[in-house]
Amino acid sequence: MNIDQKVSLTIEAINTLTELCTPLTEVQWKTATDCPGWSVQDNLSHLVGIENMLLGKPPTTHKSPKYDYIKNPIGEHNEHEIDARRSLSGSQVLAEWKVTAAERAHQLQTADAEYFAKPMMMPTGPGTLGDFLDIRILDLWIHDQDIRRALNISGNHGGPCAEHTIDRLIRTLPIVVGKRAATPEGESVSITISGAVQRTIYISVSEGRANFAADKPANLLCEISMDSTVFTALATGRKQSTELTWTATGDTSLAQRIVSQLNMMI
């Protein structure tokens, strides 16, 4: 995906979030989500903080309490921005988001190639500001889905942002199948994603490593199937395998190990 496409998808994700959040009531803003400790408002506060950082605005000087759900320095940094806005109303956070969203869209639409080539440290390692857009699209869309699940507002399950996110999550499936689930040497599995985003993935273990297979292997030790919304919730660690509906044939014990280890969120 080139820079123009990344910019377009980032702005699409931003605008969709704005549309989703604009009519929310204060009760809805304070509703808990699947992100531990975070309300709907907190999800948007997190995104405000990240996009403000990318705009070059100074971070908050507020220091969050050390909540139990904070697991790493990135989480701690995120929490400072969120906790700084917890005393605000949802409508106040939304107003800040709308200003930030407009400024960020303008920045992306007017930036030159030099801007996107600037090096930066991403959660996944060294990269550029252009590379980071891949993660921004994912983050924006995932939090859109977090808000929708919390408020039972269906929508935005498919489309380019959803496909981009799911394809990025799929990339680490060999680690899940091979290392985490310990699929035996010489064996293969399939994972079929249905619904708004459809993918069929084959993974085989050879010489101690799991890799994607371009074609369907002759023998499959297990075949796993789930809706794209289920895959997203599991792959981002929002839900456990026992909370959602999925099916498997063949070695169901292996299937359970795979599905229970799907959390691959950065």
pLDDT one digit per residue (tens) for the chain, 266 residues: 999 999 999 999 999 999 999 999 999 999 999 999 999 999 999 999 999 999 999 999 999 999 999 988 888 999 999 999 999 999 999 999 999 999 999 999 999 999 999 998 888 889 999 999 999 999 999 999 999 999 999 999 999 999 999 999 999 999 999 999 999 999 999 999 999 999 999 999 999 999 999 999 999 999 999 999 999 999 999 999 999 999 999 999 999 999 999 998 75
Alpha carbons 237 and 261: distance in angstroms, whole number: 9
Task: Report the phi/psi class of residue 140: left, alpha or beta, with left for phi > 0 and alpha for psi in -120 to 50.
Answer: alpha
**Owning domain of residue 177:** 166-260
What does the pLDDT read at residue 121?
87
User: Where residue 144 sits, what CATH number does that domain have?
Assistant: 1.20.120.450
What does the pLDDT read at residue 88?
98
Residues 111, 174, single domain; the answer is: no
Residues 21, 79, single domain; the answer is: yes
Residues 11, 126, single domain; the answer is: yes
Boundary-marking domain end, from 155, 186, 209: 155
Q: Is 266 part of a structural domain of the chain?
A: no
Residues 14, 74, single domain; the answer is: yes
- Assigned token pair, 66: 């050390």
Q: Is 265 part of a structural domain of the chain?
A: no
Residues 23, 147, single domain; the answer is: yes
Residues 148, 173, single domain; the answer is: no
Q: Is 142 part of a structural domain of the chain?
A: yes
Burial string for 41-65 (b: 16+ CB within 10 Å, else e) reads bbbbbbbbbbbbebeeeeeeeeebe
Q: What's the domain count of the chain?
A: 2
Residue 188's closest CA among 234, 250, 257, 262?
A: 250
Give the torsion sign (CA, 16, 19, 24, 30).
positive
Residues 72, 137, single domain; the answer is: yes
Residues 176, 221, single domain; the answer is: yes
Residues 170, 229, single domain; the answer is: yes
Q: Is 161 part of a structural domain of the chain?
A: no
Residues 226, 140, single domain; the answer is: no
Q: Is 133 part of a structural domain of the chain?
A: yes
- Assigned token pair, 179: 């290392």
Residues 146, 170, single domain; the answer is: no
What does the pLDDT read at residue 146?
98
User: Where residue 206 sits, what CATH number does that domain have?
Assistant: 3.30.1050.10
- Which amino acid belongs to residue 192? T
Residues 137, 193, single domain; the answer is: no
Classify 171 as helix, strand or coil: coil
Check: CB of residue 140 under 8 Å from CB of residue 146. Answer: no
